[in-house]
Structure 1
Amino acid sequence: MSGSVTQRQIARTVLIERGIARLAELRNAGVTAATMSRMERDGEVLRLARGLYQLPDAELDTNHSLAETAKRVPKAVVCLVSALAFHGLTDQLPRHVWLAIGRKDWAPKLDGTPIRIVRFTDSLLNDGVEIHVVEGVPVKVFGVAKTIADCFRHRSKIGLSVAIEGLQEALRQRKATPSDIVNQAERGGVGTVIRPYLEALTVNG
């Protein structure tokens, strides 16, 4: 039994466990880059982007692009339209993954999934973060109330109509209370912006 066979088995085990693995993780498990390129050539693994692999028959979650991005930029938090879509609050399928990073963080250059970077202050970046596991990968996503507040804060980037739709859906699906939303809006400095919409929606609702 040759060494490359066992390396392939190791690679498969790592990919079954993690869903998506970076070359560094596979190397740590004892798999060489040469083995990975042979496996890719033989159709045993998919190369998602440089140094990022997945099994071809892996169940692709609708949030696959979030898992792929989180694997490459683990510090970033999924935000704005991507977070709305994740929470089921918009019909839009974002063409990019919207990611929040710190003011001084290095902006990642990625091949593969297109991303849009939004810089947040540390206090806003660390507030209202939830961790969801997608395809075995822990993904940081802002919670519903925080996402709505952020959408109003960045309405010039994503469009006011998207922010209002998110707010409507969050209330309709009871995924956040008006007081949660106001609380996050105040912290993000958009309390006065969001209040009239919130009042209109809660009166009619």
Structure 2
Amino acid sequence: MAAMSTLRPGTAEEAGLSRSGLYRAAREGRLERIARGIYLPADAPAADWDWIEAATRRSDATICLASALAHHELTDAIPTALDVAIPRGSRTPVSTGAIAWHQFDRATFDIGREEIPIPGTDQTIGIHSPERSIADAFRLRGEVGYELARESLKEWLRRGGKPARLMEIASQLPRAKSPALQALEALA
């Protein structure tokens, strides 16, 4: 099946539907409401609705912290909500899904950020690289816990992660360099 686009009341016309046609299709079960104002065709392949909602609400939404570490298979922790970074000072979207919005400094927002496809859709979402995610876990260890940072670092090193690359990123982020360096030295 082809990748599906999300539909919103404001974009329904592009898909050949009036707003009332969009709501009628949802009532009749041809469209599935995945979040307030966001619909997918009912026969769309399974996809991560929280990813879709985050990417639809904010084009700069970026999976971060524990959610990025879990995606990169660097932690066994299963986040209760999708951790999503947006630039500090942006309006935090109202969301119906399990999304934890985090505001990251605009000056460092794009460091280690890449775009990945959302499976089953024609959308993409930002995600922080393993190195950025580890550096952020050390930087925000008071919020996410020191164990998350340490365990992710150990797994990343076990898989051949390059300490110089981690330190290059950690050096660009406030409060990340020193704890990351101390942890690397302790594990060496």
Q: Same fold (TM over 0.5)?
A: yes
Contact 1:19/1:136 (CA < 8 Å) preserved in 2?
Answer: yes
- Distance in 2 between residues matched to 1:149 and 1:156, nearest whole Å: 13
Q: Whose helix proportion is higher, 1 or 2?
A: 1
- The equivalent position to 1:184 in structure 2, one of 156, 169, 172, is 169
> Does residue 20 in structure 1 map to residue 24 in structure 2?
no
Gaps of 5+ in 2: none
Residue deviations 1:72-113, cap 9 Å, x none? 1212221111111221212222121212122211111112x1
Change (3 A) 1:59 1:169: farther
* Higher RCO structure (Cα 8 Å, ≥6 apart): 2
> Does residue 157 in structure 1 map to residue 154 in structure 2?
no
| Aligned AA (2:127) | V
Identical columns (%): 30
Alignment-derived partner of residue 114 in structure 1: 98
Shift of 1:19: 4.1
Matches within 5 A, 1:10-159: 16-61=2-47, 63-111=48-96, 113-134=97-118, 135-159=121-145
Please identify runs of 4+ aligned residues in structure 1 that moved more than 4 A. none
Contact 1:146/1:181 (CA < 8 Å) preserved in 2?
Answer: yes
CA RMSD of aligned residues (A): 2.0
Contact 1:20/1:68 (CA < 8 Å) preserved in 2?
Answer: no
Aligned residues: 185
SS in 2 for 1:24: coil
- Distance in 2 between residues matched to 1:38 and 1:21, nearest whole Å: 13
Larger radius of gyration: 1
Change (3 A) 1:104 1:46: same
Change (3 A) 1:73 1:119: same
SS in 1 for 2:11: helix
TM-score (norm 2): 0.88
